[in-house]
Structure formats: C-alpha cells, structure tokens
A and B are shown apart, each in its own frame.
Chain A
C-alpha cells in the first residue's frame, strides 16, 4: 500500500481499489490499487501499454472497470461519461482533444455547462471567466477566438483550462506537456503548483522524467497493467525509476535472428514527414527487420506513413531497390496508391477502419492483394488455391474462406492483412503495430511469418509500442524521440534499459552503454 507523507493533511480523496479492465484478450489493468491525496501531485508512469491511459479513462467515464471500484471523497462512484465525471469534480485532460474547431475558446471551455441568464447564454460571463482562466493558464489567446485557429500547444492549454474552469477537485493530466514549449511548460508547472496549494488532487500521467521529478510528490509505476510500486519522489532517482519501469521476463516467442543481410532495399536519403519536422535518413536492407522504437507519439508513425504516402511529406528523396536490383524513385507525394504499386505493402495500425473490409470474406480480403496492378476489365484470376495456401501457411483458423472477416479473432484478422500482401507478392513491408490486440499464440506465428518473409529476401520496417516485441524480433532498432533518430542499436545488444534510456533521457549514461557490450 502506498505510504507517502504529504505536506498538508493526508486526506484521501481518490481511491482506486483492485481495479481490473480487459479489452478482449488483453488485460490493460490487473488488480491495481492507487490512492490520491489532496494537495498532492501523483505521477503515474510506465512504458507503453502499462495501463496508464486506461486508468485515467476509467476516472473519465470513458471506460468502466471490469472489477474493483473507484471512490471520490469516500463515495463509491461509477461514471457514465466525461460530463458525469466533471459533475463529480473530476477533470480529465486527454491527449486526444475534444475541442470543437468551430466554437470559440470560451464556448469550448463552457460547453455542456454554459452559464445562462434569462434562458439565453450569458456570453459576457463566459468571456469574462474564460479570460481569467486563460490568464491563469498562461495562454496568449483571446477567449473569442475560434479554437480552430489555435496551434497544438495552445489547444492543449485550452484543454487544461477546461478542467480548471470546472473547478474540479481532482485533476488528471495525460501527457500535458507533449505539445508545449519550454516557457509553456514552466507556466504549466506554476499552475500545477497553484492547484496543489489549493488542495486539489492531481494525477500526472507522463513519461517525462524531468517533469516527474520537477512537479510530483509521489510516483506510481505500472507495468503490463500491474502495479509495480508507489514511492515518494524523494526516494527516487532517474536510474531507479527506469529500472522499476522495465525488467520483465522475455518470452520465448521470437524466432532466431538472421546474421546476414543483403543489399539496401529502401534508401531514405532524406525525408521530412511534415512541416516543421526533423529530417530523417535511414536505410533498410534486404533480409532485415528494422524497428522504430521509442515512446508513443514521438514521430515514428509520421515517418512510416510519410514513407508510404499516407501522409504527404514535406520533402522526400527515397530510392527503392527491388529484389532483382532495379532501383526506382519512390514518390510519397504522389499518394498511397502509387507507392503501393511499387512493391511495398503497408499494414496500418487500425485494421478495423483502415485495413480490412470487415463485411467481406477472408477470400475477398486476401484476393484483393493478388489483384493489385491488374487491369480493371480483366477477369479476376481465381485465387482460391493461392488463398488456401496462404491461409495454411499462416495457420489461419477459420470455418471457410467465405467467412466474413469481422467474425475472426484479432490474431486471425492480422494474419489476413499479412496474407493480402503475401498474395500481392511485395518485397518490402511497412508495418504498424504488427500484433496489436493479438493473443500470444498468434503473435508467435506472426513473428515467424515476418522472419520467413525476410529470410526469403523481403525487408520489413516496423513500429511497435511493445518494447519486448521490438527487442525480440528486430535485427536493428532505431529509437525515435521528438521526430529525431536518437540512437541505433542492434537487436542482439538491445535491452529495455538501453532503449528506455534513449527514449527518455537527454543523454544516455556511459555506464549503461558499456554495460551492454
């Protein structure tokens, strides 16, 4: 049980007891108990997938716990919506903003709790109060501006202002500084200190070690949905914190790595994924599985998507060399369809909305791969044999090829996506989250497939939030931080500590580096 001592009264305001939550076969939270105190800032940290966001979502009313209970000020509660939570004094500021672009800042702040007078909106009150809050928060914007003209950083401040204006007694912040510059972060810190002095309970969910040590009194570490430790900040230092976050037994899921690699398959001489992003340079070789690692939202997705044209890059200079040696320029600006016609396959992270045709059958989903590049009036080649072969190869369990994809398990659905690109005969795969929402058994099979693909001359560039996956599967790992490639490690010498250090810290200590070799 947590045993932190507070500077003010030790009034328990927020209690989560034995909370568990699963999504399908993934256990996001496993019997977690956390206590929050008035006038204290409580950090909740951990790796990707540790359960931090789910914890917050339960308090926000977005998710409901499968087991356990939460209570606010001693009363057990179960929130039905974000508004419901706010009415009980719990304010949640997410990473995904819920600002309406066509509403003013003041309107956004008060949406759902508008001040009224004589049955009409009291705009003067709204503007006046909003102005005050914006000053407190340090946002250099006017309350009558539309939210749609704000920068990302400004939007985040408005989200925070929403919570403050609701005069909540409990605040949850999810990566609040993600889009803020240094001055804004300082302001945020002052704000949090003010709230703390007012006796509010603050939960600060973040990866950022500097901020955790700057703002927070207590630190809770979660790992794989389980509670690891809750300790006062004074008793921690960076190294100890990182150690608490990592260090799990590596599962024996991964096929052995190949020692040899072929020629360059994808030569990214220059790539600027978006306006204002860093320039990226890398090379992907035949037979290699290259992983882009790092914390969530550090730019890996943008790099991958701009390679394939799903995001229009600011600038690109990319050469693709196919198995037989022919080199051709890859032009992502021409769009996804043109890139995919060059022998590259793309597996998006959200298979339901971006990858699969949920109401079509397995056969149709896979066969579409084979049809790629064919003339429209051609008779579609009957590919039952090919599809059955691929299904067998992937160990896809299904009653028949005519089954709609929506009825398959997550693992099988992922296999269908792989199957489609195998049917298309691509030689390079760009994969986002290869095993998201996939059970252990299917994970092992997918890893095997990816390895076999590269063994026969394919090349794979993947991003994944699961650090064990990256370490276990990839031949080479590049860590991405703020859109920059900050470190490169071979798969064999990679450890969680090393990757987390690259991902979290400004500089990686020499000790850690030496310890690896």
Chain B
C-alpha cells in the first residue's frame, strides 16, 4: 500500500512540477507550438524541411540582434540603436567606399563599427546616466540619418561575395547564416551560465543596488553588454546584407529590427532586469516571429497588417508579463 502511495505521490508531484515548468516556460515556446499546430491545420505545405531552412535563414539576422538585446534588457537597459547599426553595416558592406578592400576586411570594419556604437551607448549610459531609451534611440536616428544622406550621393551596390556567402550561402542543404547564428547562441548561453560575467549580469538585473553593495562592478557589466549588443547588431546586419545581396536604404528595416528584437526578447521570457528566460528563450522568440510573419504573408497580409501584428504581439507579451508579476 505504501509503495503505491509513494509512487502515486511522486507521479503527482512530478506532474505538478511539469505543469509548473510548462507555465514557467516563456511564451516563445508555447507560441511556437501553437503556430506549428495552426500551420498544420491551415497551411500544411509550410511544414516542409525546405521551408524550415528558409525560416531559419531569414531569422538569423534577427536572431543575432536578439542575442545582444536580451543581454542588455536583462541588466535593466535597452538597445534601440540596433536598427541604425544594421542599416549602417548594410551600407558599408555594399557601398563604394570600401569595395576595393577584401571581404574579410569589410567584415572587420563593420564589426568594429558595431562595437564602437555599442561602446558609445554604454559610455553615455553608465557615465552620464542618460536614459538608455533616449540615447540608443537617438543613436539610431543619427546612424540612419547619416547613412541615408550618404546613400543619396553614392548609392550602395552589391554586397561582397564573402558576405553573401555568409548570408545566403549553403553547405549542402544547410544554409550558413543560421549556423553562424547558432554558433553564437550556444556559446553565449553557456558563457552566461558559467562565467563570472554571466553571474554578474544576473545580479545587476536582479537588484542593481545590491550589486553595488556586493562589490560587483555593475557599471562595467552594463557597458560591456552594450558593446556586445552593438557587435551582434553588426553581425546581424552583415547576415541581412548577405541575404539580400544588394545594399538597401530602406530605413524601415531598422524599425522592423528594433521592434522585433524587443518582441522576441519579451516573448523569450526576459523582462527588464530578469525573468526566467536568458538566451535560448529569445532565440526561439526570434524564430517564432519570423514564422509568424511568413505565416501571415501566406494569408495575404501586407505591410500594414504586419505592423499591426507587431504592435499587438509586443503589447500582448508585455501585458501577459505584467499580469504575471501582479
């Protein structure tokens, strides 16, 4: 009798733990599950291997940007400059100024630019305590303004082959871009879990006051996350440029990136300063969003519908999070 009871209890306890784990899962996971089910019902042709790779490849630039954004939001800051960085990188990669140089140098220049933008953000935010929202938003405006102004005089052309390889090349059936993306995500996830920096990030996001009183160099941590975010934005921009193949001066790309990155991070369970999600949740969120927009396009949604959807998703994700906390 006792043996039965104890196994029953442990099953019940395990079941309850499972339920709790599912409820705790960030919305990205069950959102994706729901999407897959909806696709199965309404658009089964989307559930093919080829389409899966398409989504992954399309999600890679966003995924890279989300990687940085999730770290920044985790320490109670935000990076809205990624839109401008992506556009700037796009222009540098496809513009005439550097076209004489070999591809890898162009890549390095873009990475450098991204890091510098991130460093400027980080410095202004930690040193002058300017609002991260305003500063990074202003940075994006500056970047976009400068880029588009230059692009008027010297329009961009084709993207160098190296970058095109990264963005749209394949290795057999597998596209390179998501490999690069995942190649960053997995080490990043491990690093955040294992390194001193990762622990500090959790601490700063959880309680900035206590972080200072525990002797954690919280300003340096925040600065570094911003530099990293600038870097990932540059990589995302390169992947996007490589995917499209030619330069673009559509500032809408930037706004798109910013909104989607915030949505993906919130869906991934990271809220300002903590939450259960870390790196994997937002990555799944990036995948989910890309899937959603492709799904909607297959229904005939246009740009306008997409925008409304973007707004709704962020709002609903934030509201669910807000209600959970109450």
Q: Please give the residue numbers on chain A whose beta carbons come within 8 Å of chain B beta carbons, in ascending order.
A: 310, 335-337, 340-341, 346, 348, 353-360, 364, 367-369, 371-380, 420, 424
Contact B202 A364 (CB under 8 A): yes
How far apart are A350's CB and chain B's nearest CB, in angstroms?
Answer: 9
B197 lies within 8 A of A346 (CB): no
* With A357-B207, A359-B274 as contacts: A380 and B217 at CB distance below 8 Å: no
| Among candidates A354, A364, A379, residue contacting B195 with C-beta atoms closer than 8 Å | A379
Q: Which listed residue, B194, B203, B213, B224, touches A376 by the CB 8 Å rule?
A: B224
Closest to B273 in A: A359
CB distance from B76 to the nearest CB of A (A): 13
Counting residue pairs across A and B whose Cβ atoms lie within 8 Å, the total is 80
**Beyond A357-B202, A357-B210, A360-B206, is A337–B216 a contact (Cβ under 8 Å)?**
yes
- From 185 to 232 in chain B, residues with beta carbon under 8 angstroms from any chain A beta carbon are 194-200, 202-203, 206-207, 209-210, 212-218, 220-221, 224
Q: Is the CB of B199 within 8 A of A372?
A: no
Given contacts A354-B207, A357-B202, A357-B203, 14 further A-B contacts (CB under 8 A): A336-B212, A340-B214, A354-B213, A358-B207, A359-B274, A360-B203, A368-B200, A368-B203, A376-B220, A376-B224, A377-B195, A378-B195, A380-B195, A380-B196
- Chain A nearest CB: distance from B13 CB in Å? 13
- The distance in angstroms between the C-alpha atoms of A356 and B203, with both chains bound, is 9
For B206, what are the chain A residues with a Cβ–Cβ distance below 8 Å? 357-360
Tell whether, in the assembled complex, residue B214 and residue A420 are in contact, meaning their CB atoms are under 8 Å apart: yes
Could you tell me if A372 and B213 are in contact, using CB atoms closer than 8 angstroms?
no
Contact of A376 with B197 at beta-carbon distance under 8 Å, contacts A353-B207, A357-B202, A357-B207 already known: yes
A354 adjacent to B210 (CB under 8 Å): yes
Q: Is the CB of A374 within 8 A of B196?
A: yes
Taking CB atoms, residues of chain A closer than 8 Å to B214 are 340, 368-369, 372, 420
B220 / chain A contacts, CB cutoff of 8 Å: 376
Least CB distance, A375 to chain B, in whole angstroms: 7
A384 to B: closest C-beta gap in Å: 13
Q: State in angstroms the CA–CA spacing of A424 and B216 once bound together.
A: 12
Question: Which 7 pairs between the two chains have the least Cβ-Cβ distance?
Answer: A340-B215, A357-B206, A376-B197, A374-B196, A372-B215, A371-B196, A354-B209
The answer for the CA separation of A379 and B193 in the assembled complex, in Å, is 9
- The reply to whether B215 and A379 form a contact with Cβ atoms under 8 Å apart is no
What residues on B are CB-neighbors of A360 within 8 Å? 202-203, 206
Would you give 26 A-B contacts (Cβ < 8 Å), ordered by A? A337-B215, A337-B218, A340-B215, A346-B213, A353-B207, A353-B209, A354-B210, A355-B213, A357-B202, A357-B206, A357-B207, A358-B206, A364-B199, A367-B199, A368-B199, A368-B214, A369-B214, A371-B196, A374-B196, A376-B196, A376-B221, A376-B224, A377-B197, A378-B196, A380-B198, A420-B214
Closest to B274 in A: A359
Q: In the complex, how many angstroms separate the beta carbon of B75 from the nearest chain A beta carbon? A: 13
Q: How far is the CA of A357 from the CA of B209 in the complex (A)?
A: 10
A367 to B194, CA, bound (A): 12
**CA–CA, A335 to B212, complex, Å?**
9
- B199, B214, B221 — which one has the most chain A CB atoms within 10 A of its CB? B214
Chain B residues packing against A (C-beta within 8 Å): 194-200, 202-203, 206-207, 209-210, 212-218, 220-221, 224, 274
Give the complex CA separation of A374 and B274 in angstroms: 23
- Contacts A340-B215, A359-B274, A360-B203; A377 near B210 (Cβ below 8 A): no
With A340-B214, A358-B207 already in contact, the answer to whether A377 and B202 are too (CB < 8 A) is no
Q: What separation, in Å, do the CA atoms of A378 and B200 have in the docked complex? A: 12
In the bound complex, how far is the Cα of B220 from the Cα of A310, in angstroms? 18
Closest residue to B219 on the A side, CB-wise?
A: A337
Which of chain A's residues have a CB closer than 8 A to the CB of B215? 336-337, 340-341, 372-373, 424
B129: shortest Cβ distance to chain A, in Å? 14
Docked complex Cα distance between A364 and B207 (Å): 13
B209: A residues at CB distance < 8 A? 353-354
> How far is it, in angstroms, between the C-alpha of A378 and the C-alpha of B207 when the chains are bound?
22
Give Cα A55 to B309, complex, Å: 55
User: Contact between B196 and A375 (Cβ–Cβ < 8 Å)?
Assistant: yes
Shortest Cβ gap from A260 to chain B (Å): 30
Report how far A188 CA is from B188 CA in the complex, Å: 64
| Chain A contacts for B212, CB-based, 8 A | 335-337
Q: Which of A353, A380, A420 has the most CB of B within 10 A?
A: A380
Nearest chain B residue, comparing its CB with the CB of A353: B209
Q: Which residues of B contact A336 (CB under 8 A)?
A: 212-213, 215
| Chain A positions within 8 Å of B200 at CB level | 368, 371, 376
- Looking across the interface, which residue of chain A has its beta carbon closest to that of B207? A357
